[in-house]
Amino acid sequence: MALWRKHCARDDPSVDLSKDRPYLRPMAILPILEVPDPRLKTISKPVESFDDDLKTLVNDMIETMYAAPGIGLAAIQVGVPKRLLVIDLQDEEAEGEEPVRNPRIFVNPEILDPSDEHSLYNEGCLSVPDQYAEVERPAQIRARWQDLDGKVHEETMTGLMATCLQHEMDHLEGILFIDHLSRLKRQMVLKKIEKARKMGGGHVHGPDCRH
Ligand code: NI
């Protein structure tokens, strides 16, 4: 998931992420699939082996998410149809300071108790470049997932975390945030992306970064 404010965040390629995790091989930034790539409609399969390949994939996904920059990424967005996602909301409240990195990993996530109360967020998606729209989702959920060792966790989520987790979990079902919009709005978004690509694709961010 991408937020419009995130989209303008500092993206410093000189930051060496592997320093935080020195026991790992250098991580790789993976190409992100974009609409209308049909692979984004895949229903992802449960993760069954909690092995080194899974850890490698997760670390590459985390690096890819930070580099984009985004606050969440599902495995299918890098072409891997597994029920796996990474999220880091990277709170940037303290302006001028480096956001604290705290990536969270969700393997085989499930939503247990979506609340009747809904909330509205301006969502974006790394697979739907430069497009943002308000989406309504349950304001609170109970989430259950496994970690990289297969251990099961449960937690109640609210606010942006609840929204982001639901956005990423939609990817596991082949659903994008634009699928929550009216058909007309969705077509408009897809046309804008097509047009931007025809113009050469290079989106330049203005100083206030309004789209
Ligand atoms: Ni997304």
Q: How far is CA 143 from CA 2, 33, 105, 147, in A?
A: 21, 26, 12, 13
Note the pLDDT of residue 205: 46
Averaged pLDDT for residues 172-201: 94
Cα 164 to middle of ligand 1, angstroms? 9
Cα 166 to middle of ligand 1, angstroms? 10
Q: Ramachandran region of residue 98, left (φ > 0), alpha (ψ -120 to 50) or beta? A: beta
What tokens does 85 get?
């996602």
What are the phi and psi torsion angles at 111 (to 5°)? Answer: -105, 130
Tell me, yes or no, if 95 is annotated catalytic.
Answer: no
Cα 176 to middle of ligand 1, angstroms? 6
| Three-state secondary structure call for residue 196 | helix
Q: Evaluate if residue 143 carries a pLDDT over 90.
A: yes
Cα 98 to middle of ligand 1, angstroms? 24
Domains present along the chain, CATH in parentheses: 2-210 (3.90.45.10)
Averaged pLDDT for residues 110-139: 96
Averaged pLDDT for residues 116-138: 96
Residues 107, 119: Cα–Cα separation, whole Å: 25
206 versus 5: which is more confidently predicted?
A: 5
Q: Which residue bears the tokens 């580099």?
A: 67
Cβ(179)–Cβ(186) below 8 Å: yes
Cα 74 to middle of ligand 1, angstroms? 7
Identify the bridge partners of residue 105 per DSSP, sorted by sequence position. Answer: 86
Q: What is the pLDDT of residues 1-60, one digit of tens each?
A: 887 665 444 445 555 555 555 555 677 999 999 999 999 999 999 999 999 999 999 999
Cα 165 to middle of ligand 1, angstroms? 10
Note the pLDDT of residue 211: 37
Q: Evaluate if residue 207 carries a pLDDT over 80.
A: no
Note the pLDDT of residue 91: 76
Q: Evaluate if residue 181 carries a pLDDT over 90.
A: yes
Report the chain's C-alpha Rg in angstroms. Answer: 17
Residues 27, 10: Cα–Cα separation, whole Å: 20
Cα 168 to middle of ligand 1, angstroms? 6
Mean pLDDT of the chain, nearest integer: 87
What are the phi and psi torsion angles at 69 (to 5°)? Answer: -90, 145
Q: What percent of the chain has pLDDT over 90?
A: 75
Q: Which residues surround ligand 1, an ion (CB under 5 A)?
A: 1, 125
Catalytic residue (one of 136, 168, 173, 194): 168
- Give the pLDDT band (50/70/90) at residue 150: very high
Cβ(169)–Cβ(108) below 8 Å: no
Note the pLDDT of residue 21: 53
Note the pLDDT of residue 15: 53
Cα 16 to middle of ligand 1, angstroms? 25
